[in-house]
Every structure is written in C-alpha cells, then in structure tokens.
C-alpha cells in the first residue's frame, strides 16, 4: 500500500510515519509537509534513508501539487493542521485556510482519483467542554469553543459531506491530548519539561484545574493504523488514553520527576474560552477494532521526560528556529 501522509513532519504525523514503516516494511510513504513553525524534518532523521519513504515540501492547499501526489497513492491520512489554540485566538484566518480549505482540497482530489481510504485526524476539542462528569462519545454534538476547534469541526463536517454526497471512503478520528517524544515545545507537557530543565517558570493558566485526558502518541498511532485498515467507512472513532489529569497535576508530576521546586509555577491569566474538561469514551474503537491504550501514564511521562533530557540538541535547534522566525516577522 502507498500512503500520502500530510503534515508528516509534525509531532503525531512523524510518529505515525515511523510506526507505519516499522510495522509494514513493504508500505511506501509520501510525506507532504509545508514545514511551518512546528514542522521539523529532524523528527524523521531515523527514516530519511528508508527507500520506502519520500518527502515533499508543499501546502495541502496547492491545487497543482496535491493531485500529482494523490494520483500515486492508495490512501491519504491528513495530519496537516494549524493546531495551537492560543495562536488561533490571535490569528484565526490561517486556521480556516489550512484546516478547512486545505482539507477540502485534499478531499476533492481524493474523490477525483478514487483513493481507497481517506482518514481525517481530528480532535476531541470539536465537542466543546464537559462538566465534572460524563464523556465525549461519537454522538456528542459538536460545540467548538475556539477558532482552532471550530476550524477542525468544520473540516470534519466537510469530510462527512464528501462521504455522504460522493461516497468517498472517508473516516474521522478524534483523539484526546497527545504527549510523547518529538512534540513541539509550545504544548503543555513539552513546554513545561523544557522550561523546568532550564529552571524557568512554567505558566499555568487560571487555577490550573482544567482537566485533560492524556494519550501516549504511539498508542494513538496504533489506533489510527486500526482505523485505516479495519474502520468502517463514514464512521467517527474516538481515541482516548483513560488518563484524566488536571494541568496542575501534570505540572507537579514534571517538577517532582526533575526534582525542582513548586516555586517555578507561575499562575497566569486564563486563556480566552478555556474549556474546563475533556474526557473521551473510546468504547467504540475498542469493541469494533480491538484497540486499547497500552502505555500507563506514569511510564509514559517518564519516557517523555527522559527523551527531552537526552535530546537537548533537538530542543536547541527548535528554539533557535523559533527566535529566527520571530525576528523575521
């Protein structure tokens, strides 16, 4: 099978490429990535010489490049997206362009070339916010609260429309918060690890009691693999880690693991429209496709912390790139 993986130089996409090449030695992968601020080819140095892997720099909105690639493949998995909520609040337009129009462009050419499978990688944030109890199921109404989640919900609706209208063999996955190696240090866990390693303050929003369900990235990759090969066309599959933690709990776990004081915690003004709690019910994918999360959070967070400790050059290069981009802008 030959796969087009968009956004494959990002955190989850690069881990999925690694998973596919290690699990299916005869599969071929084309990685299409624009190499924006979070796209990083250093995430894939261990596979760049694999003869079954190729990289193309480009935009999923490109109406000339995308059909050239789509014509060659059997399936497309769309990881490409602008993802950070804070960035969507200060500049929502790029989120609409990339996440909505980019998805529509991929769907259009996937339909044109009659590919066998299209998998949209989405997020539990499209469901909005939960109270103290309950879980998101695949039937939970969409109620996005940030420009980021609204753009992802819009993309999901476009995928649904292409399945219903054109019978495109499309599927959607919605995951909880991912963590693990290679994550760009703007998200909570890698940001706090890298800050604490430098004895810098960690910015905790509001009271720190917002709850997220944490999913180890390679458990997520196995789930997407199952959806790609065994999922029912037109269906949505929720993917969760069964690891609910408050942001403050995560912060204290990282501080304790690195033997650093709680005085590094700095409470900051809460994010606009900050959802209070996310929690995923992943019964459907477990019962239908036989997937379950394997990584226990205590082991996964230790593995993640150790990875950042052992890869300071990866972090240093990203920080240098970020500074250079900020100077240019």
Residue carrying the six token digits 């990083």: 40
* Residues designated as active site: 124-125, 148
**Dihedral of the alpha carbons of 63, 69, 75, 78, in degrees to the nearest 10:** -50
Burial class (CB in 10 A: 0-12, 13-18, 19+), 298: exposed
Query: For the chain, where are the E strands, in sequence order?
Result: 2-6, 28-33, 53-57, 75-78, 117-123, 170-175, 177-179, 202-205, 211-216, 236-239, 244-246, 265-268
Nearest to 275 by CA among 104, 134, 149: 149
Nearest to 151 by CA among 175, 172, 123: 123
Nearest to 248 by CA among 181, 202, 186: 202
Q: Which two tokens stand for residue 62?
A: 């490109």
d(CA 189, CA 178): 9
How many residues belong to the chain? 329
């Amino acid at each position: 099978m030959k796969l087009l993986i968009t956004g494959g130089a990002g955190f989850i996409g690069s881990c999925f490429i690694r998973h596919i090449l290690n699990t299916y030695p005869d599969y071929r992968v084309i990685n299409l990535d624009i190499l924006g601020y979070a796209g990083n080819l250093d995430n894939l140095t261990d596979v760049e010489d694999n003869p079954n892997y190729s990289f193309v720099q480009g935009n999923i909105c490109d109406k000339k490049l995308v059909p050239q690639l789509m014509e060659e493949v059997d399936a497309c998995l769309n990881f490409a997206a602008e993802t950070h909520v804070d960035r969507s609040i200060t500049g929502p337009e790029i989120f609409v362009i990339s996440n909505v129009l980019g998805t529509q462009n991929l769907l259009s050419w996937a339909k044109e070339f009659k590919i066998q499978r299209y998998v949209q990688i989405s997020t539990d944030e499209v469901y909005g916010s939960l109270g103290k109890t309950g879980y998101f199921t695949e039937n939970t109404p969409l109620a996005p609260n940030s420009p980021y989640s609204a753009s992802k919900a819009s993309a999901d609706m476009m995928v649904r429309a292409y399945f219903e209208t054109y019978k495109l063999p499309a599927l959607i996955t919605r995951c909880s918060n991912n963590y693990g190696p290679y994550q760009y240090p703007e998200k909570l866990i890698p940001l706090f690890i890298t800050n604490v390693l430098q004895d810098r303050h960690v910015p905790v929003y509001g009271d720190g009691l917002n709850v997220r369900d944490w999913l180890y990235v390679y458990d997520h990759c196995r789930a997407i693999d199952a959806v790609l090969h065994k999922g029912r066309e037109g269906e949505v599959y929720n993917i969760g880690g069964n690891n609910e933690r408050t942001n403050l709990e995560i912060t204290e776990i990282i501080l304790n693991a690195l033997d650093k004081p709680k005085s590094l915690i700095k409470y900051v003004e809460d994010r606009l429209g900050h959802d209070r709690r996310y929690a995923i019910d992943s019964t459907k994918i477990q019962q239908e496709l036989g997937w379950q999360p394997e990584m226990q959070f205590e082991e996964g967070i230790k593995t993640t912390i150790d990875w950042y400790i052992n890869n300071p050059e990866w972090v240093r290069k990203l920080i240098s790139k970020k500074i250079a981009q900020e100077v240019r802008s």
